[in-house]
């Protein structure tokens, strides 16, 4: 395992230990609402602190971009962190959430860890070295037809600007696939594409920390990741499509009639 990935795994496990302890007594957790339907708990903060401490202990000159504490430092090595992706699930005791950590070096994601503390599933990737689940190599599915595919997604929950567009996309996707799933953690959704459990995934308006690690996992598992027109820029715009190469192109075709100007690549640039 790459030494930097090793440190990221250590950080993810420390965050997970905090999350697991807290999950034993959900009633005791202090919660506040950041914006409408966007909750943060003291657990998110404690897990994030543990991650940042572990990473900066090993690499004091690296920068941080984290969901709760924002950006710090101006190194070309940036750790992109979501300490608890799926906070709403966690707060309800719904066991679908994960720790997500990615390293971006000179603008490129090079290391990725997504850890699911409920199933003890550790997804890891280093650029150019493949994607793994618990030390076993994973690959995207080989299903060739969208009609036979299971596709993951996430409903808009915070910003409803694109809700009507999304619902139109969703309707088409329901008709053209074997099923659409929405468990509530984008990081895990992307890990599932990498593992071949989903054939594809799409969502509107995610944040970098939701998708940085998952995007590399999919790429290293032989899949494709792009914005709604299949281009780069998905990390910045948060409009993302991922899938095995055949299903990826069919998702783009299905979404294409619904793209408003604000969802097209040039608007994101």
CATH 3.30.540.10 in the chain: give the residue spans: 3-138
**Helical packing angle, 208-220 and 186-195, nearest 10°:** 0
What is the reported pTM?
0.96
What CATH class does 3-138 carry? alpha beta
If the chain, 269 residues long, is cut into consecutive pieces of 10 residues, what is the mean pLDDT of each piece?
Answer: 97 98 93 84 96 98 97 97 97 97 98 98 98 97 98 90 95 98 98 99 98 98 98 96 98 97 73
DSSP assigned state of 10: H
Strands 77-85 and 63-66: parallel
Q: In whole angstroms, give the CA distance from residue 13 to residue 268.
A: 34
Count other C-beta atoms under 10 Å from residue 128's C-beta.
Answer: 8
CATH 3.40.190.80 in the chain: give the residue spans: 146-268
Contact 208, 195 (CB under 8 A): no
CATH for 146-268 is: 3.40.190.80
Backbone φ and ψ for 42, nearest 5 degrees, come out as: -60, -20
């Amino acid at each position: 395992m790459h030494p930097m990935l090793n440190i990221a795994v250590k950080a993810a496990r420390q965050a997970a230990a905090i999350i697991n302890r807290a999950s034993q007594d959900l009633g005791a957790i202090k919660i506040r609402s950041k914006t409408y339907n966007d909750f943060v708990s003291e657990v998110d903060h404690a897990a994030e602190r543990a991650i940042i401490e572990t990473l900066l202990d090993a690499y004091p000159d690296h920068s941080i971009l984290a969901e709760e504490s924002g950006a710090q430092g101006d190194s070309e090595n940036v750790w992109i962190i979501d300490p608890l992706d799926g906070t709403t699930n966690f707060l309800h005791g719904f066991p679908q959430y994960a720790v997500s950590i990615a390293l971006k070096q000179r603008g490129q994601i090079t290391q990725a860890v997504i850890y699911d503390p409920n199933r003890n599933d550790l997804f890891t990737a280093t650029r150019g070295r493949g994607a793994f689940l618990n030390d076993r190599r994973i690959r995207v599915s080989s299903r060739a037809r969208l009609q036979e595919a299971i596709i993951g997604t996430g409903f808009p929950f915070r910003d409803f600007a694109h809700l009507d567009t999304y619902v139109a996309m969703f309707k088409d996707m329901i008709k053209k696939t074997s099923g659409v799933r929405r468990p509530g953690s984008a990081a895990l959704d992307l890990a599932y594409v990498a593992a071949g459990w989903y054939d594809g995934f799409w969502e509107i308006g995610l944040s970098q920390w939701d998708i940085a690690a998952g995007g590399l996992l999919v790429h290293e598992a032989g899949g494709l990741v792009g914005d709604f027109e299949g281009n780069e820029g998905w990390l910045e715009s948060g409009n993302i499509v991922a899938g095995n190469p055949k299903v990826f192109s069919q998702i783009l075709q299905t979404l294409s009639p619904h793209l408003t100007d604000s969802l097209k690549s040039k608007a994101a640039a």
